[in-house]
């Protein structure tokens, strides 16, 4: 094995989660020497053995292993030390919102303090985490300056480039989606754009400031949230009128300017339910953006009301939620609608059960629900099934074991209503008129 790492340009990737590890592995396979940093020692230990701790990300296991074999990727919990060895520093540690939807900077603030303690003169720092517009320069540039004494734009370069990839296809998206980049001055922009051209090999969209790049990413998320809210509003109205929303969408979207999104039981994950608050809390407090958040967060409540209308009180009913993850085929419980459903079912005195092929029974119990395998004999005691996330494994579900089930609420409009009705079980979709058992 030849070790090429010594002569290669150096990058520190701070935060080795789903996105950070993927970036680190891709950079390392594009002739960069990558120092990964993460506060979780289990993560750094596995990376140092060439093993990805992220599941269901096509191609990632192989890239991490190849980088390890070439000595191009190492990991540490000592962020400042990793940063001190790097020409370029990429920060990809999340900013979340708390229970009151206020912005929670705790994780990234700690990471940036570490960056400031390690940064060397003439380094380039790029933030990739989705941020409220203005934060790269006004919050983090200032924080690095206050701690390190180095001035952004003079002693180090500073840029922002949002991560716009989709879980399950990150490696593909890194190569194929254009990378938006904004720098605090021309040199920062040029250095950041040059870095991505070689480290990712993708097309670049250079914008006039980090704030524009930050705004563009949040705007994408708001666009999705508002359009999903519209689909949900139309779906509820279609139900009122006895019209099938799935049929409406197929018909409407045949016109090139129509792109009605899919209605559903709720919006979850790291991005869409969180980032609109980066606008709402910074002044966009009225209009479509906050209203859409409310409409989408009300969908779980709406689904439960539909169930009550069909079967009466939920007290003591056994209700199975299919999918703990916020969407199909990923293992991501952040802001999943399943969590809202569990809470609301408990408030109604029901017994929530959860099935999710990506989570162990122990993990499911952490969310206050009982795990249930789809071949378990207790399936016959389930009164209602709610499809929350449509994993591929659910294509082949055999509901004939659910001998006591009165209703299946299809929160993603994916199941076959006729097959369900044939088993003597009622069906309800979102925006799709329910079918009674034959």
Residues that bind ligand NAD (CB under 6 A): 14-20, 37-40, 43, 79, 92-94, 107, 110-111, 129-130, 163, 165, 167, 270-271
- Minimum CB–partner distance for residue 18 and ligand NAD (Å): 4
User: Sign of the CA dihedral 120, 124, 128, 132?
Assistant: positive
Beta bridge partners of 35: 12, 74
Name the closest residue to ligand NAD (Cβ).
17
- 17: which DSSP letter? S
How many CB atoms within 10 Å of residue 159?
30
Strands 88-91 and 124-127 come out as parallel
Nearer residue to ligand NAD within complex by CB, 82 or 426: 82
> Which residue carries 């700690």 as its tokens?
110
User: Cα 187 vs. chain centroid, distance in angstroms?
Assistant: 32
- Minimum CB–partner distance for residue 412 and ligand NAD (Å): 19
> Which residue carries 């009300």 as its tokens?
298
- Minimum CB–partner distance for residue 164 and ligand NAD (Å): 6
> Which residue carries 């899919």 as its tokens?
262
How many CB atoms within 10 Å of residue 291?
13
CB 197 within 8 A of CB 209: no
Nearer residue to ligand NAD within complex by CB, 223 or 237: 223
- Minimum CB–partner distance for residue 366 and ligand NAD (Å): 16
Nearer residue to ligand NAD within complex by CB, 15 or 273: 15
Rounded to whole angstroms, what are the CA distances from 322 to 203, 353, 432?
Answer: 39, 9, 19
Nearer residue to ligand NAD within complex by CB, 15 or 118: 15
Nearer residue to ligand NAD within complex by CB, 157 or 163: 163
- Minimum CB–partner distance for residue 173 and ligand NAD (Å): 9
Between helix 60-69 and helix 41-48 the angle, nearest 10°, is: 70
How many CB atoms within 10 Å of residue 383?
19
CB 29 within 8 A of CB 62: no
Nearer residue to ligand NAD within complex by CB, 19 or 25: 19
- Minimum CB–partner distance for residue 60 and ligand NAD (Å): 12
- Minimum CB–partner distance for residue 8 and ligand NAD (Å): 23
User: Cα 186 vs. chain centroid, distance in angstroms?
Assistant: 32
Nearer residue to ligand NAD within complex by CB, 91 or 314: 91
């Amino acid at each position: 094995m030849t070790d090429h790492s010594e002569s290669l340009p150096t990058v520190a990737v701070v935060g080795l989660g789903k996105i950070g590890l993927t970036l680190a592995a891709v950079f390392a396979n594009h002739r960069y020497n990558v120092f990964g940093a993460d506060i979780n020692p289990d993560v750094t230990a596995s990376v140092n053995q060439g093993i990805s701790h992220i599941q269901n990300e096509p191609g990632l296991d192989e890239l991490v292993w190849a980088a390890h074999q070439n000595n191009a990727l190492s990991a540490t919990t000592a962020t400042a030390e990793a940063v001190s060895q790097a020409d370029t520093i990429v920060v990809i540690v999340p900013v979340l919102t708390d229970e009151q939807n206020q912005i929670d900077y705790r994780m990234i603030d700690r990471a940036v303090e570490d960056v400031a303690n390690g940064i060397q003169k003439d380094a380039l720092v790029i933030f990739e985490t989705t941020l409220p517009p203005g934060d790269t320069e006004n919050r983090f540039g200032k924080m690095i300056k206050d701690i390190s004494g180095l001035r952004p734009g003079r002693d180090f370069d500073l840029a922002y480039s949002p991560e716009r990839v989709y879980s399950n296809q990150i490696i593909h998206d890194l190569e194929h989606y254009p990378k938006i980049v904004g720098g605090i001055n021309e040199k920062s922009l040029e250095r950041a754009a040059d870095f991505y051209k070689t480290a990712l090999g993708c097309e670049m969209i250079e914008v006039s400031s980090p704030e524009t790049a930050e705004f563009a990413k949040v705007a994408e998320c708001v666009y999705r949230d508002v359009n999903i809210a519209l689909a949900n509003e139309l779906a509820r109205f279609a139900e009122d009128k006895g019209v099938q929303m799935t049929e409406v969408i197929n018909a409407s979207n045949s016109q090139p300017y129509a792109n009605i999104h899919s209605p559903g039981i709720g919006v979850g994950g790291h991005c869409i339910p969180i980032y609109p608050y980066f606008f709402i809390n910074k002044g966009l407090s009225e209009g479509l953006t906050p209203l859409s958040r409310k409409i989408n967060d009300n969908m779980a409540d709406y689904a439960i009301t539909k169930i009550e209308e069909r079967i009466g009180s939920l007290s003591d009913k056994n209700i199975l939620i299919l999918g703990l993850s916020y969407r199909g085929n990923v293992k991501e419980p952040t802001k999943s609608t399943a969590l809202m459903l569990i809470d609301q079912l408990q408030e109604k005195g029901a017994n929530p059960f959860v099935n999710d092929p990506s989570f162990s029974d122990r993990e499911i119990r952490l969310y206050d629900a009982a795990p249930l395998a789809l071949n378990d004999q207790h399936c016959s005691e389930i009164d209602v099934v709610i499809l929350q996330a449509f994993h591929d494994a659910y294509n082949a579900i055999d509901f004939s074991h659910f001998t006591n089930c009165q209703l299946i609420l299809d929160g993603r409009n994916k199941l076959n209503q006729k097959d369900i009705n044939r088993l003597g079980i009622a069906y309800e979709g979102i925006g799709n008129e329910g079918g009674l058992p034959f």
